[in-house]
């Protein structure tokens, strides 16, 4: 009988996002940390974990559609910010304008992932008037939401999770 090939012996290609258990000082609960495959390290500037999700800030400045596709190619999505605790956990990761998942269309603002639009963090508390045009969302350096043209460039913040138990 022929021994299995090396490729078969290794099993399926691992997902680029994996998790290792650790205590997370941000959440004060048992958390996870992001562990990246070596070949991804050159694309990622920083990582953070919160509530069973892994966040990666990518190195390159790209426009929103490219950022979205890069996150999908890595097995995730552009990050959605759904509450103040999540924002507090990822804000140290960014520190500069960063592309996130929100999109404005004729029907209003929504997360491209389909999650509920329940935490609109506009800097002055008032949603900017985007009219009926398509616009994209990014975090400003202080964590406020900012309406931008989808062609504007920024680093992408990708999100993946929840981690498997």
pLDDT digit string (tens) for 122-132?
887 777 776 65
Structure tokens at 68: 């979205």
pTM above 0.85, yes or no: no
Per-residue model confidence as pLDDT tens digits over 42-97 = 778 888 888 888 899 999 999 999 999 999 888 889 999 989 999 998 888 888 88
DSSP state of 12: S
Specify the CATH number of the domain 6-160. Answer: 3.10.100.10
What per-residue confidence (pLDDT) applies to 41? 67
Picking from 150, 149, 145, the residue whose alpha carbon sits closest to that of residue 128 is 145
In the chain, where the domains are located: 6-160
More confident residue, 90 or 108: 90
Per-residue model confidence as pLDDT tens digits over 71-84 = 988 888 999 998 99
Count CB atoms within 10 A of the CB of residue 84: 11
């Amino acid at each position: 009988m022929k021994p299995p090939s090396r490729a078969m012996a290794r099993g399926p290609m691992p997902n680029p996002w994996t998790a290792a258990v650790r205590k997370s000082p941000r959440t004060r609960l048992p958390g996870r940390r992001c562990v990246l495959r070596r070949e991804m390290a050159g694309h990622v500037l920083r990582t953070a974990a919160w509530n069973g999700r892994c966040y990666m800030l990518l190195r390159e400045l790209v426009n929103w559609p490219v950022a979205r596709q890069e996150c999908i190619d890595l097995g995730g999505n552009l990050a959605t910010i759904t509450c103040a605790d999540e924002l507090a956990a990822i804000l140290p990761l960014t520190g500069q304008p960063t592309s996130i998942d929100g999109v404005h269309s004729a029907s209003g603002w929504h997360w491209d992932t389909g999650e509920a639009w329940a935490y609109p963090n506009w800097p002055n508390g008032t949603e900017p008037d985007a009219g009926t045009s398509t616009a994209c969302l990014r975090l400003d350096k202080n964590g406020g939401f900012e309406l931008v043209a989808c062609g504007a460039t920024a680093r992408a913040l990708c999100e993946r999770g929840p981690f498997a138990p």
